[in-house]
Amino acid sequence: MALKIKRIAIDTHPENTAFLLRRRNGYSPEQFVALRKIEITGGDASILATLALIDDESLLEPHMIGLGEQAFRRLGLPEGAEVTFRQAPVPHSLEHVRRKIDGDELEETEIAEIIRDIAGYRYSPMEIGAFLVACAGFMSTHETLALTRAMAGVGRQMHWPSEIVVDKHCIGGIPGNRTSMIIVPIIAAHGLTMPKTSSRAITSPSGTADTMEVLASVDLPEDRLVSIVAKEHAVLAWGGRVNLSPADDVLITVERPLRIDTFDQMVASILSKKLAAGSTHLLIDIPVGPTAKVRTTREAIRLRKLFEYVGHRLGLVLDIVVTDGSQPVGRGVGPVLEARDVMAVLRNEDDAPRDLRERAVMLAGRVLEFDPALAGGKGYARAMELLGSGAALAAMERLIDAQGRCREVILPGSHVHDICAPAGGTVMSIDCHLIARIARLAGAPMDKGAGIDLLHKVGDRVRADEVLYRIHAHSPTGLEYARELAVASSGYVVG
Amino acid sequence: MALKIKRIAIDTHPENTAFLLRRRNGYSPEQFVALRKIEITGGDASILATLALIDDESLLEPHMIGLGEQAFRRLGLPEGAEVTFRQAPVPHSLEHVRRKIDGDELEETEIAEIIRDIAGYRYSPMEIGAFLVACAGFMSTHETLALTRAMAGVGRQMHWPSEIVVDKHCIGGIPGNRTSMIIVPIIAAHGLTMPKTSSRAITSPSGTADTMEVLASVDLPEDRLVSIVAKEHAVLAWGGRVNLSPADDVLITVERPLRIDTFDQMVASILSKKLAAGSTHLLIDIPVGPTAKVRTTREAIRLRKLFEYVGHRLGLVLDIVVTDGSQPVGRGVGPVLEARDVMAVLRNEDDAPRDLRERAVMLAGRVLEFDPALAGGKGYARAMELLGSGAALAAMERLIDAQGRCREVILPGSHVHDICAPAGGTVMSIDCHLIARIARLAGAPMDKGAGIDLLHKVGDRVRADEVLYRIHAHSPTGLEYARELAVASSGYVVG
């Protein structure tokens, strides 16, 4: 029986929700119960949605089916359009998930089937969670390889005319670590192809896309992205627009709340995206530190081996570098403050953060060595040259103009609070987690100018009451949230 | 800031849902996003609910918070009452779940904390799924014991004046296996205390509570239940009213769709309920058969050992019997047809199903031997005597009257279809799963008279076109659904 669509302005992101009156004739009540999935079809369009039952005819008439915001948008039909629905078939691939729960190793085709269903929104968060937990710690390297291939296979596949397409990825977790925005212009100035798509912050105070957005538009349709790369060799865009790994986009909505970040998922997530983005050569930066994602060199080596196992079998040339992740990089934490640091480095300003500069040049050098002409140790000097000569800055300015220069200048948030040293001494350590949390409470990354300006780093000598860092916020509430945590736990140990 | 409750007639069982306008001032948008949990407090009452965001002010005014049906009922405050809300604190016990995902063994106190939070609706289905999957196949016997104790600890604890309180439980999965309704009157006639609470069908065509409901009321408040037991030694009630294992009630909403039925969960679920129900002596029936829940004797022995390990440490006296689960028991499948069989056995009618009678007497005999006076083999004869003399029937009639005799006589559904033998021969096997599915499609257990009447069992010789079983339904649709499956796969092998 056909029902007419009614849009219901209820947001249940990331899930699709559909609403039906409970008391209708023509379908068995056994079949349609709350929170089950139904499949809604109209014309060529079809979506799966979670069912909520309505008892009140003033909300919905019997001949209607209500669609929440996500469902309405994803189905893409107008209000009043006729649709039919049926109980969603249980995805057959859940049988594979059940076998994985029982401890079996899955075949490549089975993992591919699971990933297709997840990317097609055919799994509930509960079912995704079951798959992820069943895999956590119990994936063979074969399975991780199959997972990576499957995840790359369901999204958009990009192709580039160049033979060498380079990329770099940092495992993350280090506030202020915005090296990509320095590396990309250096590589572009050299002339290698580096179409860099980045994520926005998920749990951090800023992602590369958030920081770049302070300077230029990053939400670029694919055709513009392609034409910018054709002209400038590079781009610094937000990857969310390109749909490179739709399965990863769904998985992450469950990994985050459950805090599942196994090496297997990490490798599959990163390499599947790079593969889909058309990269051929990839530098991976693994920062190691007591408050970083990877805590020991031993762990870093295990992760490196897994990257190599999967990457090589997928035909990627990998260079993996383990770096110091013991404290934040640069001075600024948060989009505006980080963009300031990046531009200071590119402009060769005297007070540009040296650690950010040094790290970016070192990594850019490794990327440059993917160029056969520079292989074997000539990358570093070439990176230095391109940065020092202003060629990298010029490349960055061209990229900014090509992507669309941000007209509005955003300043660091005007509500500030200084966190001072309780006593004189040396900064012994800085907790990356805490600094990130404080910056987020201040409003980063949503409030672009919110964040933290680190005035002292590990090894600096400070006097009692000297300012360790300054919190910036756009609102008094944000400042208060951040101040409260910073006063309780500043993240600095001075000894 | 206080908001006024508005009841919103949307059913999202088993989850609580709350609705807020997205564009309100006074709270940070970062803090309150769709599908996060919030805690709603008014007076002494407090619930957790999943948040959905509304963009349409005609659905909800800015000073209001909408509550879906479950949330409205559980909070228990009237419309217009003032409440406050905050982002629900992430349950600390999720840290233990994460450690379990990482492969750690958990402490008893940690498992207790998890179970308290689950029973308190503080976990999302995704988080419950993560816990269950992390445990599946990776629970130590210590952990299973701790889980059982924790699950028994969060619900209602019943106490009885008798020193010996007996119970029996069948692992299930065998259609028509309604022995409890024969055993309980036998035990009551003997004078042992047997306050039997049963579940309704979840995936089967009838549970003991569904079948008993054909004869008498089973939805008894606790005080009536207690007074009936005081007078009649026994009761045959629905357990859902008594809140014996609220954690189990929540866990099952996730175990069912994920089809997690590990032995650990099974043992914890059953024994925690029996413990909470105040049982001291428990008979467990494990039917083994190719289409039963437990498929091999080897598995049955493993399950028995786990029951014994946990049960003995909880102070329960257990008797565990492995029975034949190769085909349905009795003739009728579905509430009315099963009740007919049960009463035929109690009335000692000539055509009462012999397999049901024999099985019930054997199990009743084992339960009777919990009475020290009958220990060591005298139970069977005593059970025979109580059944044969009509004492069990009289006890059943008293129970029915005490619980409230059902005035309305429900007949088997009048829409019938016969499934016949395709050729002459011997019935070689009957598939329990298929028979259960066909009976459910016919409408059981919701339609009390729907179900299947099995006219032949394994070993019977049949002629071509002789009726193997008759499907009963109350509606043409139900009959059609059931007929369709039965014609495709009858569940009978005649050879």
**What's the rounded mean pLDDT across residues B422-439?**
96
Omega prior to B328 cis, within 30 of 0: no
Residue A188: the pLDDT is 98
pLDDT in tens, B93-126: 999 999 999 889 999 999 999 999 999 888 988 9
Q: Say whether domain A94-153 belongs to CATH 1.20.970.10.
A: yes
B366 neighbors B283 (Cβ within 8 angstroms): yes
Q: Would you write out chain A's pLDDT as a tens digit for each of its 495 residues?
A: 688 999 988 887 767 888 888 765 444 444 555 567 888 999 898 888 888 888 778 888 888 999 998 899 989 999 999 999 887 888 999 999 999 998 899 999 999 999 999 998 889 889 999 999 999 988 999 999 999 999 999 988 999 999 999 999 999 889 999 999 999 999 999 999 999 999 888 789 999 999 999 999 999 999 999 999 999 999 999 988 788 888 998 898 888 888 888 999 999 999 999 999 999 999 999 999 998 999 999 999 999 999 999 999 999 999 999 999 999 999 999 999 999 999 999 999 999 999 999 999 999 999 999 999 999 999 999 999 999 999 999 999 999 999 999 999 999 999 999 999 999 999 999 999 999 999 999 999 989 999 999 999 999 999 999 999 999 999 998 999 999 999 999 999 999
As annotated, the active-site residues of B are 261
Residue A33: the pLDDT is 59
Confidence at B483, pLDDT banded by 50, 70, 90 = very high
**CATH number corresponding to B415-494:** 3.90.1170.30
Burial of A107: CB neighbours in 10 Å, binned 0-12, 13-18, 19+: middle
As annotated, the active-site residues of A are 261
Least confidently predicted of A439-453, B232-246, B275-289, B470-484: B232-246
Chain B residues close to A479, C-beta within 8 Å: none
Query: What's B3-87's CATH class?
Result: mainly beta
Name residues whose C-beta falls within 8 Å of residue A391's C-beta, 6 or more positions apart in sequence.
A189, A385
**B29, closest residue in chain A (CA to CA):** A446
B220 neighbors B241 (Cβ within 8 angstroms): yes
Name residues whose C-beta falls within 8 Å of residue B13's C-beta, 6 or more positions apart in sequence.
A33, A34, A35, B69, B70
Residue B15: the pLDDT is 77
Residue A261: the pLDDT is 83
pLDDT in tens, B294-335: 999 999 999 999 999 999 999 999 999 999 999 999 999 999
Minimum distance, in Å, between the CA of residue B71 and any CA atom of chain A: 14
Residue A245: the pLDDT is 85
Query: Which residues sit opposite A416 in a β-bridge?
Result: A472
CA–CA gap between residue B368 and residue B391 (Å, rounded): 15
Interface of A with B in 40-79 (CB under 8 A): 52-56, 59, 68-69
Residue B35: the pLDDT is 60
CATH level 2 (architecture), domain A166-242+259-403: 3-Layer(aba) Sandwich (3.40)
DSSP-H helix ranges across B163-207: 180-190
Residue A30: the pLDDT is 47
Name residues whose C-beta falls within 8 Å of residue A297's C-beta, 6 or more positions apart in sequence.
A288, A322
Residue A356, token pair as written in the block: 């950010």
Residue B51: the pLDDT is 85
Chain B residues close to A104, C-beta within 8 Å: none
Minimum distance, in Å, between the CA of residue B125 and any CA atom of chain A: 6
Residue A299: the pLDDT is 95
Least confidently predicted of A7-21, A302-316, B140-154, B173-187: A7-21
Confidence at B24, pLDDT banded by 50, 70, 90 = low
Residue A29: the pLDDT is 43
Q: Is the dihedral of CA B244, B250, B253, B258 positive or negative?
A: negative
Interface of A with B in 436-475 (CB under 8 A): 440, 443, 446
pLDDT in tens, B442-469: 999 989 999 999 999 999 999 999 999 9
For residue A308, which amino acid is it?
A: E
Q: Which residue has the higher pLDDT, A89 or B289?
A: B289
CATH level 2 (architecture), domain B166-241+274-403: 3-Layer(aba) Sandwich (3.40)
Domain assignments of chain A as residue spans, ordered by start = 3-87, 94-153, 166-242+259-403, 415-494
Omega prior to A14 cis, within 30 of 0: yes
A202 touches chain B (CB under 8 A): no
**Strand blocks (E) in B91-211:** 166-170, 194-198
